[in-house]
Amino acid sequence: MTGMVNFSHQHCRDGSVIGIAELCNPSSLNALDYQMIEQLYHQLLQWQDDENIVAGMLHGHGEKAFCAGGDVQAMYRALETKEQDFEHAFDVTADFFTLEYRCDFLIHTYRKPIIAWGHGYLMGGGVGLFMGASHRVVDSNTRFAMPEVKIGLYPDVGGTYFLSQIPQHLALFIALTACQINASDMQALGLSEWIIDATDKHSVLDQLSQIEWKQQHDVEMTISSVLSHRHHSEDIPGWLMSHSSVIEQVCQGDLEQIVSAIGQIDTEDKWLRSAQKTTAYASPLSLHLCYQQLTQYHDLTLKECFELEFGLTLRCGLEGDFREGVRALLVDKTNQPKWLHANVSEVTPQELARFFSPINSPQYPLTNRNDVSVIL
């Protein structure tokens, strides 16, 4: 069953309109399939050029999730054919991630404010949508994570850009352990700005609808003021920040040293033990991609980050551990992946250099795909 995006409008006192997009794929925790991304992308383009639209809001249907990620099982099915029909597997995979990255990039560079209201599970592809918004709100129950290392990927959807804006040891821990962080962590790291109960969402929209937007000199500041009046501090300490001293100690040195140090943390803490188990389970190749991504590419622009990630992601699917990771975790559910490498020491510099080498025109995927020649 495919998901959809529901669109509606909040009409304001002076005739202005707030466009509302609701991710709706409840059977998969609002995971993004191609149709959903396509609907959202084209609607955002239309709203951006509509003079009546003053701002947008993006949220998720139901109580469980904003968005738990992308439809990776669809990519798995496409990649099953790569030995028999490489071109088809390449095209399906490239088309999906081209559209997803274009949509994420559009939100980052949108000419109007977008309020992203996160709640419940906020992971993977959902993070890509959320982090580009000008106004990022979370509920107390938000659970943020970048769990890609468990399926042979790495934190993409702009992760090279936004994870590089937080302290490196914390970014590495988030990427290498796929740990979940809470609303307090997100605010401390600047991943969100406001914590507001989801029950206040309609009240916020009502308040925004009473504003004479055409008389406002700074629309973004006006929206920020409304959200700030609803914001409340979170009583629960941050899960990540509560362990920041330990994390800083273990996330020093090269990747082999960090992986070893994480595994040797002497703890009975459930959150830390879960992080240890994930790193032990994760694709060794993915761990290397995370480490290089977050230690060597701080100076890239947002556009350059998406271009880098596009090549990495295609190689993960067509040459790396992605297909095996999805099979073991989500398809057969054996939780016994047969990674290409037994441990991080087996991954060679030559392999990494290939994964990070250019795959296409510098403009791709943020230009028309027909305008470029792709070389894998």
Q: What is the pLDDT of residue 345?
A: 98
Strand order, beta sheet including 65-67: 65-67, 121-123, 143-145
**Structure-block tokens of residue 15:** 């005739």
Look at residue 30 and give its three-state secondary structure.
coil
Other C-beta atoms within 10 Å of 51: how many?
Answer: 7
Task: Report domain 4-371's class.
Answer: alpha beta
How far apart CA 18 and CA 376 sit, in angstroms, is 42
Query: C-alpha distances in angstroms, 63 versus 29, 37, 185?
Result: 9, 21, 21
Other C-beta atoms within 10 Å of 332: how many?
Answer: 11
User: Which region holds residue 131: left if phi is over 0, alpha if psi is between -120 and 50, else beta?
Assistant: alpha
How far apart CA 327 and CA 289 sit, in angstroms, is 20
Look at residue 70 and give its three-state secondary structure.
strand
Q: What is the pLDDT of residue 1?
A: 60
Q: What is the pLDDT of residue 358?
A: 82
> Rounded to the nearest 5 degrees, what angle is found at the Cα of 174, between the Cα atoms of 168 and 176?
95
Instruction: Give the CA diameter of the chain.
Output: 63
Burial letters 143-164, b for 16+ CB under 10 A, else e: bbbbbbbbbbbbbbbbbbbbbb
DSSP class of 32:
B
**Structure-block tokens of residue 310:** 């596009």
What pTM was computed for the model? Answer: 0.94
Look at residue 144 and give its three-state secondary structure.
strand
* Cis, bond preceding 365 (omega within 30 deg of 0): yes
Query: C-alpha distances in angstroms, 127 versus 69, 80, 346?
Result: 8, 27, 31
Q: What is the pLDDT of residue 364?
A: 59
The amino acid at residue 272 is: L
Please give the chain's pLDDT, 376 residues, in tens: 678 999 999 999 999 999 999 999 988 999 999 999 999 999 999 999 999 999 999 999 999 999 999 988 888 887 887 777 778 778 888 899 999 999 999 999 999 999 999 999 999 999 999 999 999 999 999 999 999 999 999 999 999 999 999 999 999 999 999 999 999 999 999 999 999 998 999 999 999 999 999 999 999 999 999 999 999 887 889 999 999 999 999 999 999 999 999 999 999 999 999 999 999 999 999 999 999 999 999 999 999 999 999 999 999 999 999 999 999 999 999 999 999 999 999 999 999 999 999 876 444 566 554 433 344 4
Other C-beta atoms within 10 Å of 132: how many?
Answer: 24
**Structure-block tokens of residue 87:** 């071109």
Query: C-alpha distances in angstroms, 5 versus 20, 34, 53, 185, 270?
Result: 10, 11, 18, 29, 36
The amino acid at residue 343 is: N
What is the helix, strand, coil percentage profile of the chain, to 5?
A: 50, 15, 35
**Structure-block tokens of residue 153:** 């990927």
DSSP class of 153:
-
